[in-house]
Structure 1
């Protein structure tokens, strides 16, 4: 009998370390440990530093599972992890999110080293979010420290965390497309041509880009054990490793976004909404979110400054606030982080080009649609941007929005009429007559084919209509 027959589903993104693997059984998130990993876990669970990290919420909640409560998995020990409300990927994070994730990773490594442990990996994918609070999830990467061995995760840390931060902070280049292109991150050789001349001397570049790239090329043919032996012979120690971590921490803290806020940062002031429109819209959204049971997950598409995500958070356990502009997401994140918010997760994403599946076989990192089964979806002032601004057929826009809602969940959507000033602004850049189907009656017809419309309301301006609909299974 296979594990699939037992109802066990292997996590597609957990296979690179054969000593342990994450899998799912119903709603449970479990991790199987082989003999060596089980011994490392026992040492870790007995340590004071790990207990402190758990108490502080900096690593995901983890307990040992009684084997009598599980089918025979073949693993020596099985752990149960706290479920992350919504799994996101580093190329969906803002600069501030990536920097805070890097700082947490370095803090955990420092505290592990001080206690005689290390973290084998350094990947950004080892971190997730509880709202705007980062949490380390790769419990299987902790291991007792072998004195004199270097940090095995340094290369991963550079490629998935440090290099994207350097790219944004020093050059003003958004890192998200670079990380999305390669699951293993940015290689030193990709960055070195961008940091020539005076740029070679920018903070972090000489050591972590040029020297690291040169050392990597020099030891390309050597085994990891041979390199570790050379470092031990040269006097490499835990003290030197700690000094490196502290220098990296100081560097990362100094890095910040180079570019100013994007076009949408001041949207609430410059958009065409009147005070009456805004008040009516907020009341409609609040009533729609409160119409059913408390939502496990709400999705706010085109979230901008998070006004409606905050309304959704009154009745939802977790809200994912999606916005295309990285600067807008970063501004929202910094406010939420300062507030200690653990309910609203802001993400960078273009709804006309949402995150696809990536990595091994295209499923190692699940696409956005595969991860999204929301109880409530807010799609406010986004339909016209997709249908007119991006030339997506109106029927397909409706299909996409409905596809994000779980059966029985609710869709709250705003249709901006062709005569609305914002729609007119988009239409002015298009050939006349290009969108004959972009009409309020056609939108209402398409929505009714896919949902059960519970109520609708025209805003006082008369050029926008709100719909509350249930997506039946």
Structure 2
């Protein structure tokens, strides 16, 4: 992981790293750096000397971390950095409301596994947020090194409430009620409050696994101790004989509960799209050949976005020609099935995400930048927009110029857009137009789309599929 030392020019503080004053994350070029104050630096030295932490890093469960020169980042005027760390960069940052159910559950299980290992050697995590985890393909990885601190007997797990709000409660919502958690997490950066969820688990629903203990009783304890200080609560727990062993037992109990939670979503229209989309065998072979050639042309892409990835057919193809692929699909059920399949196959270069292309993740949290919006994270070397444009332009009433501008905005300068235009006479376009007033889309034509695309980039290749109602393009942005 050793790299040349970077200077302090161009240092960018991470907008999502400010809530813990003991440490702060910065970006310098491709480097991810973390400044630590004196107390956090002492905790880091103890952590680096432990047995469990290096083992977790080696296993890929915690992001790679090493000491770096303190001069790499500017000192905080109020609290000078006593140490600076360099972290391995995550290929693409995502947010929990962009994950599927199985992804959120696997992230929760990794967090609990790490906490168990830490407790066994006298450490704990002071945070329990789902945002402390990211992904390398289908592998979750813990990234918040500053969360580790020595455990003190008589104190509960400080991250328990965060864990419930951002991981456990969303899992309970989907597993027990069949309600997608993604809109709930997107609405509140701090997660789902117990008071929000409790009315949905009244009556016999209170008896479902995990609900009584972690939702109703937890909420009642919060209300009972609302006027007590943290110091008072800690003193009460120490007096009651609360020990590290009890914390471990609690964590094991939560882990057992999370493993039992599952939700295999019902089959949806999009889950069987490859069979129902109407491609002939000739169309499919021609399309795959065009996409392969388009991705193989020029410099190997570091990041490819597959928009409307469905079952991941083209994401897998892209993974053979790129370092990393983010496969975006609107239907949580389809993404969940894709994730489970990719995980079983050991695929580590495709990250599936839940995202509505007509309503992508906006910036959120403090000042709208604490959690970056999708567009600001998605400067890709290649963008696949296959069988997507007609759904946006006709199905969602988005003007064709806006669709093209959006695709260009997701693509890095010099990057390529591989896009499919479905002609108005195509059966799928006919189906979408049948639900719209006549004459609503006079500009939805192949020549208009081609002109718009050529105005924003250089069209290098085009192919009309054998069926004659769909055309593929490769365009270089800014070319």
**What TM-score comes out, normalization by structure 1 length?**
0.98
Q: 1:33 aligns with which of 33, 36, 51?
A: 36
- Whether the 8 Å contact between 2:328 and 2:355 is mirrored in structure 1 is yes
Match of 1:291 in 2: 297
Q: 2:382 aligns with which of 376, 379, 386?
A: 376
Following superposition, the deviation at residue 261 of structure 1 comes to 3.0
Q: 1:62 aligns with which of 61, 65, 68?
A: 65
Check 1:42–1:331 CA distance in 2 against 1; reply closer, same or farther (3 A cut): same
In structure 2, C-alpha distance between the alignment counterparts of 1:428 and 1:69, rounded to whole Å: 60
Match of 2:27 in 1: 24
Match of 2:124 in 1: 118
Question: SS of the residue aligned with 2:466?
Answer: coil
What is the CA deviation profile of residues 111-152 of structure 1, one whole-angstrom value per residue up to 9, with x for unaligned ones? Answer: 100111001100000000001110000000001111111000
Q: 1:8 aligns with which of 7, 11, 20?
A: 11
In structure 1, C-alpha distance between the alignment counterparts of 2:140 and 2:122, rounded to whole Å: 24
In structure 1, C-alpha distance between the alignment counterparts of 2:73 and 2:240, rounded to whole Å: 48
Question: SS of the residue aligned with 1:454?
Answer: strand
Match of 1:228 in 2: 234
In structure 1, C-alpha distance between the alignment counterparts of 2:147 and 2:340, rounded to whole Å: 29
Which stretch shifts more, 333-342 or 406-415?
A: 333-342
Check 1:334–1:453 CA distance in 2 against 1; reply closer, same or farther (3 A cut): same
Question: SS of the residue aligned with 2:12?
Answer: strand
Residues 1:350 and 2:353 are matched in the alignment: no
Match of 1:241 in 2: 247
Q: 2:143 aligns with which of 130, 137, 147?
A: 137
In structure 2, C-alpha distance between the alignment counterparts of 1:121 and 1:355, rounded to whole Å: 24
Following superposition, the deviation at residue 46 of structure 1 comes to 0.1
Question: SS of the residue aligned with 1:266?
Answer: helix
Residues 1:75 and 2:78 are matched in the alignment: no
- Whether the 8 Å contact between 1:62 and 1:82 is mirrored in structure 2 is yes
Q: 1:51 aligns with which of 42, 50, 54?
A: 54
In structure 1, C-alpha distance between the alignment counterparts of 2:14 and 2:409, rounded to whole Å: 23
Residues 1:165 and 2:168 are matched in the alignment: no
Following superposition, the deviation at residue 225 of structure 1 comes to 1.6
What is the CA deviation profile of residues 33-82 of structure 1, one whole-angstrom value per residue up to 9, with x for unaligned ones? Answer: 00000000000000000011011000000000033666667411000000
Runs of 4+ in 1 over 6 A off after TM superposition: none
The within-5 A match list for 1:169-188 is 169-188=175-194
- Whether the 8 Å contact between 2:35 and 2:73 is mirrored in structure 1 is no
In structure 1, C-alpha distance between the alignment counterparts of 2:237 and 2:87, rounded to whole Å: 36
What is the CA deviation profile of residues 392-442 of structure 1, one whole-angstrom value per residue up to 9, with x for unaligned ones? Answer: 000000000111000000000000001111111111111111100000010
Residues 1:385 and 2:388 are matched in the alignment: no
- Whether the 8 Å contact between 2:106 and 2:140 is mirrored in structure 1 is yes
In structure 2, C-alpha distance between the alignment counterparts of 1:140 and 1:67, rounded to whole Å: 16
Following superposition, the deviation at residue 257 of structure 1 comes to 1.2
Match of 2:476 in 1: 470
The within-5 A match list for 1:448-467 is 448-467=454-473
In structure 2, C-alpha distance between the alignment counterparts of 1:5 and 1:53, rounded to whole Å: 30
Which stretch shifts more, 333-342 or 353-362?
A: 333-342
Unaligned runs of 5+ residues in structure 2 are: 1-6
Following superposition, the deviation at residue 5 of structure 1 comes to 7.8
Q: CA RMSD in A?
A: 1.2
In structure 1, C-alpha distance between the alignment counterparts of 2:229 and 2:21, rounded to whole Å: 19
Match of 1:100 in 2: 106
Question: SS of the residue aligned with 2:468?
Answer: coil
In structure 1, C-alpha distance between the alignment counterparts of 2:253 and 2:75, rounded to whole Å: 46
In structure 1, C-alpha distance between the alignment counterparts of 2:232 and 2:117, rounded to whole Å: 27
In structure 1, C-alpha distance between the alignment counterparts of 2:352 and 2:250, rounded to whole Å: 31
In structure 1, C-alpha distance between the alignment counterparts of 2:353 and 2:29, rounded to whole Å: 27
Question: SS of the residue aligned with 2:437?
Answer: coil
Q: 1:338 aligns with which of 344, 347, 355?
A: 344
